[in-house]
A and B are shown apart, each in its own frame.
Chain A
Amino acid sequence: DAGVTQTPRHEVAEKGQTIILKCEPVSGHNDLFWYRQTKIQGLELLSYFRSKSLMEDGGAFKDRFKAEMLNSSFSTLKIQPTEPKDSAVYLCASSDNYEQYFGPGTRLTVL
């Protein structure tokens, strides 16, 4: 079985640009999560979907971050407009019950 896949693996953006990160969960998993990881803040939950329905949108990340799940096998995270403080690793994870499986992540650098 394929694990969680994420594209691109690396992204460099200019301040103010719009970027879209992509995630494909493990086939059959009902839950999908987007996280942001930095050395200072650690892992922060951005969005959580259950069976394609948005369960949590990460509070503080609402204004410029938008996650969507149009079908059960694909999700996107849009950041618009990007700011230098958004530089981080963005991780996608999926779960079929409680155990979570993570993708390789996208390293975003905003100049």
Chain B
Amino acid sequence: GQQVQQSPTSLVLQEGENAELQCNFSTSLNSMQWFYQRPGGSLISVFYNPSGTKQSGRLTSTTVIKERRSSLHISSSQITDSGTYLCAMGASSFSKLVFGQGTSLSVVP
């Protein structure tokens, strides 16, 4: 079946440092989404990015379909960026997603 591997599993940053989160897919995809989740919170869509590069403020997502991978770059990290980042892919004609296990990010002063 379809699999989604995220790395790293966890990450600790000093405030102001940059981070690169990775997502690798076992099959070709036709949709790809990054989510953010605070402890005890729901999933907030950060990017819907099935191909190419998208930027929003300090966040940049790049999806390379041929290489079956997507990345999320966080620049100048802030304490409020702390939480879990999940990537998810879709491979069918429907909108069903398969999720990775997430990267737990902690930004410290």
Q: Can you name 18 extra interface pairs (CB under 8 A) apart from A98-B90, A99-B33, A100-B33? A: A31-B95, A42-B99, A42-B102, A43-B99, A50-B94, A55-B94, A55-B96, A93-B43, A95-B95, A98-B31, A98-B33, A98-B48, A98-B95, A99-B48, A100-B95, A102-B42, A104-B41, A105-B42
User: Given A43-B86, A98-B30, A98-B50 in contact, is the A56-B45 Cβ separation under 8 Å?
Assistant: no
The distance in angstroms between the C-alpha atoms of A100 and B101, with both chains bound, is: 17
Chain B residues with a Cβ closer than 8 Å to the other chain, count: 21
Interface residues of A (CB under 8 A from B): 31, 33, 42-43, 45, 48, 50, 55-56, 91, 93, 95, 97-105
Interface residues of B (CB under 8 A from A): 30-31, 33, 35, 41-45, 48, 50, 86, 88, 90, 94-97, 99, 101-102
Q: Number of residue pairs across A and B with beta carbons under 8 Å?
A: 47
The residue of chain A having its C-beta at the shortest distance from the C-beta of B93 within the complex is A98
Report chain A residues within 8 Å CB of B95: 31, 95, 97-100
The distance in angstroms between the C-alpha atoms of A42 and B48, with both chains bound, is: 20
Whether the Cβ atoms of A56 and B96 lie closer than 8 Å is yes
Most buried by B among A33, A98, A104: A98
Listed from nearest, the 4 A-B pairs whose CB atoms lie closest are A98-B31, A99-B48, A95-B95, A102-B43
The distance in angstroms between the C-alpha atoms of A100 and B88, with both chains bound, is: 10
